[in-house]
């Protein structure tokens, strides 16, 4: 479904992605772990060409993303959903207008079909009552849910989640993670999830990678990563702080 | 920055002819921006008209030319003061607003969200706003000119005994086609500048909330400066196309 090969991206002298290669199968949930500033979000943005990579190749459904013209790229993006870290709801539009926005511009649907889809996604995220609210009236968790609803309203085949549970309390974070898994199963989507949240990863993941200094340093199941003895992974997943030589602080 | 503005305006002219045309958005922005600016340009226009007439009256009296007061006030308002004052206030009110709004959308990833949903954010956010500012400013300018003439008439009444009908008759007599057309026409360019600079600064904002603030303030500074520079060029051009009758 997604085939990334030798992806490089730098900002000035700072190398953010240093030859990332990754393959995500259809209907698979891939988790991307890594410390802050290691290029996880940049990876997602390069895959969907919100940022232009310096080198490498990205294929989605066998289409070479980096060689698509703007029209072809737009057409591909219609099949992709993206949940941003801050939900990125259009704050001048109501929840209904936010949800209608991609449908009215990209799909030839009548009013009844649009209303049905809005009802379906709002029911899925348990926020039917928020349909006429403005984003400023919503809590952080509600914004994330509406952001998720907007991402899936086009019934995408591929979903990108950029830190879907960051800034949420543990209960809401767990609810969002379960919701992501349920929606993924219901809509048979392929997902790439960037997160720091181990619980979220445990709920969602089929497979996971860890990025450090622009490279993939570990790939495997969540239990492989959690049980690894490598200092970086131990630091990441355990309560203890381990030095590079393996000794515990 | 000038290179960026040029590239941005070239992109505007490329995208403006490509459907969908987002007529509803253009109409919405025209109404919003027009209504937002209407009171402030009205008050300013009234005061400018009144002050100019009060200032000119004793000067013209010194040369025994009081009868030319309505005509001189009319020409200065129609040719220069109305369009430029209106454009500068419009820049202060609208360009900063556009810069802040788009800047905020940029740093909160709303523009990215629009892009990944398969909607062209440049066409939806930028083209519609530039189109709206380009066409609403001339309408506001005509309104400002009218309000300024009312202000000027009130000043004239304070210093001379003159009816409204006579005042307007003198203004219409003095102001020619070659005064009105260039005066109002150049506001299309000023409106374009206001929209272009505000959209450019906002659309390319970075560095979080600090970047939003910078986008907002620099939009006003750059658009005001460009308005004055282009005014200089357009005045020369209009005098070449419509020379003042001797």
**Do A74 and B110 make contact, defined as CB atoms within 8 angstroms?**
no
CA B86 to chain A, closest CA, distance in angstroms equals 27
Choose the closest CB to B118 out of A45, A77, A92.
A77
Cβ neighbours for B188, distance < 8 A, ≥ 6 positions apart:
B134, B135, B137, B138
Q: Which tops the pLDDT comparison, A206 or B197?
A: B197
Cβ atoms < 10 Å from Cβ of A198: 16
In this predicted structure, what is the pLDDT of residue A176? 83
The mean pLDDT value for B26-49 works out to: 94
Instruction: Determine the residue of chain B that is closest to A156 in CA distance.
Output: B117
Residue B108 with chain A: CB contacts under 8 Å: 86, 88, 91
- The proportion of chain A whose per-residue pLDDT surpasses 90, expressed as a percent, equals 37
In angstroms, the CA B59 to CA B74 distance is: 16
In the numeric block, which tokens belong to residue A105?
A: 């511009």
Residue A102 with chain B: CB contacts under 8 Å: 117-119
Alpha helices per DSSP H over chain A: 40-47, 70-77, 95-106, 111-124, 140-152, 170-187, 198-204, 222-226, 231-237
Helix, strand, or coil here: B23?
A: helix
The CATH number for A199's domain is 3.40.50.300
Tell me if A146 sits within 8 A of A125, measured CB to CB: yes
Domain assignment of residue A246, yes or no: no
Instruction: Determine the residue of chain A that is closest to B116 in CA distance.
Output: A77
> Cα separations (Å) of B202 from A85, B44, B217?
21, 27, 11
CA A146 to chain B, closest CA, distance in angstroms equals 13
Pairing between β-strand A158-162 and β-strand A80-83 as defined by DSSP bridges:
parallel
Tell me if A28 sits within 8 A of A34, measured CB to CB: no
CA B109 to chain A, closest CA, distance in angstroms equals 5
**Do B110 and A45 make contact, defined as CB atoms within 8 angstroms?**
no
In angstroms, the CA A46 to CA A6 distance is: 12
In this predicted structure, what is the pLDDT of residue A248? 52
Choose the closest CB to B116 out of A82, A85, A91.
A82
- The proportion of chain A whose per-residue pLDDT surpasses 70, expressed as a percent, equals 95
Choose the closest CB to A88 out of B109, B118, B120.
B109
Mean pLDDT, chain B, rounded, equals: 91
- The verdict on whether omega for the bond into residue B20 sits within 30 degrees of 0, i.e. cis, is yes
Residue B20 with chain A: CB contacts under 8 Å: 105
The mean pLDDT value for B20-47 works out to: 92
In angstroms, the CA B47 to CA B86 distance is: 12
Tell me if A33 sits within 8 A of A201, measured CB to CB: yes
pLDDT(A245) > 80: no
Buried b (16+ CB within 10 A) or exposed e, B123-156: bbbbbbbbbbbbbbbbebbbbbbebbbbbbbebb
Tell me if B204 sits within 8 A of B105, measured CB to CB: no
**Do A86 and B20 make contact, defined as CB atoms within 8 angstroms?**
no
- The proportion of chain B whose per-residue pLDDT surpasses 90, expressed as a percent, equals 70
**Do B119 and A82 make contact, defined as CB atoms within 8 angstroms?**
no
Q: Which residue has the tokens 């009218």?
A: B146
CA B105 to chain A, closest CA, distance in angstroms equals 8
Residue B119 with chain A: CB contacts under 8 Å: 101-102, 105-106
H/E element holding B49?
helix B23-62
pLDDT one-digit tens code per residue, A53-91: 999 999 998 899 999 998 889 889 988 999 998 889 999
In this predicted structure, what is the pLDDT of residue A122? 92
In angstroms, the CA B194 to CA B192 distance is: 6
In angstroms, the CA A139 to CA A144 distance is: 9
pLDDT(A109) > 60: yes
The mean pLDDT value for B8-34 works out to: 90
Domain hosting A117: range is 2-237
Transcribe B111-149 into DSSP letters. HHHHHHTT--HIIIIIIHHHHHHHHHHHHHHHHHHHHHH
Domain total for chain A? Answer: 1
**Do B117 and A101 make contact, defined as CB atoms within 8 angstroms?**
yes
pLDDT(A247) > 70: no
Tell me if A127 sits within 8 A of A83, measured CB to CB: no
Cβ atoms < 10 Å from Cβ of A175: 18
**Do B116 and A90 make contact, defined as CB atoms within 8 angstroms?**
no
In angstroms, the CA B68 to CA B53 distance is: 11
Choose the closest CB to B110 out of A48, A88, A105.
A88
In this predicted structure, what is the pLDDT of residue A241? 58
Buried b (16+ CB within 10 A) or exposed e, B68-106: ebbbbbbbbbbbbbbbbbbbbbbbbbbbbbbbbbbbbbb
8-state DSSP, A242: B
Q: Which residue has the tokens 């360019």?
A: B189
Residue A92 with chain B: CB contacts under 8 Å: 101
Domain ranges of chain B: 2-16+24-236
Domain assignment of residue A245, yes or no: no
pLDDT(A244) > 70: no
**Do B117 and A48 make contact, defined as CB atoms within 8 angstroms?**
no
Tell me if A27 sits within 8 A of A2, measured CB to CB: no
């Amino acid at each position: 479904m997604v085939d990334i090969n030798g992806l490089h991206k730098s900002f000035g002298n700072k190398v953010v992605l240093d030859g990332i290669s990754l393959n995500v199968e259809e209907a698979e949930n891939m988790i991307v772990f890594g410390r802050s500033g290691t290029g996880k979000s940049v990876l997602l943005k390069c895959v969907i060409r919100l940022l232009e990579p310096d080198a490498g190749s990205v294929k989605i459904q066998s289409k070479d993303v980096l060689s698509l013209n703007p029209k072809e790229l737009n057409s591909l993006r219609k099949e992709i959903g993206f949940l941003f870290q801050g939900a990125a709801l259009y704050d001048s539009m109501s929840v209904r207008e936010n949800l209608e926005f991609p449908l009215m511009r990209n799909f030839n649907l009548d009013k009844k079909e649009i209303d049905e889809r809005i009802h379906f996604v709002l029911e899925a995220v348990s926020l039917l009552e928020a349909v006429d609210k403005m984003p400023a009236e919503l809590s952080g968790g509600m914004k994330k849910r509406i952001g998720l609803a907007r991402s899936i309203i086009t019934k995408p085949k591929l979903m990108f989640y950029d830190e879907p549970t960051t800034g949420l309390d543990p209960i809401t974070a767990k609810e969002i993670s379960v919701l992501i898994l349920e929606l993924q199963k219901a809509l048979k989507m392929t997902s790439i999830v960037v997160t720091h949240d181990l619980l979220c990863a445990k709920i969602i993941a089929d497979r996971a990678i860890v990025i450090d200094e622009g490279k993939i340093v570990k790939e495997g199941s969540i239990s492989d990563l959690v049980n690894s003895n490598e200092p970086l992974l131990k630091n990441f997943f355990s309560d203890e702080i381990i030095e590079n030589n393996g000794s515990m602080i | 920055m000038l290179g960026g503005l040029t590239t941005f305006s070239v992109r505007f002219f490329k995208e403006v002819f490509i459907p969908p045309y987002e007529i509803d958005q253009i109409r919405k922005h025209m109404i919003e921006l027009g209504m937002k600016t209407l009171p402030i340009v009205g008050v300013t226009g009234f005061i400018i008209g009144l002050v100019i007439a009060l200032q000119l009256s004793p000067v013209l009296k010194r040369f025994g030319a009081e009868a030319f007061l309505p005509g001189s006030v009319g020409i200065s308002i129609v040719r220069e003061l109305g369009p430029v004052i209106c454009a500068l206030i419009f820049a202060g009110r609208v360009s900063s607003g556009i810069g802040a709004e788009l800047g905020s959308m940029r740093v909160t990833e709303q523009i990215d969200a629009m892009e990944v949903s398969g909607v062209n954010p440049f066409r939806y956010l930028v083209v519609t706003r530039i189109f709206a500012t380009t066409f609403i400013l001339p309408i506001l300018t005509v309104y400002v000119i009218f309000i300024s003439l009312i202000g000027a008439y009130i000043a004239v009444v304070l210093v001379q005994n003159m009816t409204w009908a006579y005042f307007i008759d003198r203004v219409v007599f003095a102001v020619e086609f070659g005064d009105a057309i260039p005066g109002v026409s150049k506001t299309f360019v000023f409106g374009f500048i206001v929209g272009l600079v505000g959209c450019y600064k906002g659309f390319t904002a970075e560095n979080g909330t600090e970047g939003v603030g910078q986008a907002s303030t620099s939009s006003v500074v750059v658009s005001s400066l460009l308005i004055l520079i282009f005014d200089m060029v357009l005045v020369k051009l209009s005098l070449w196309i419509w020379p003042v009758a001797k």
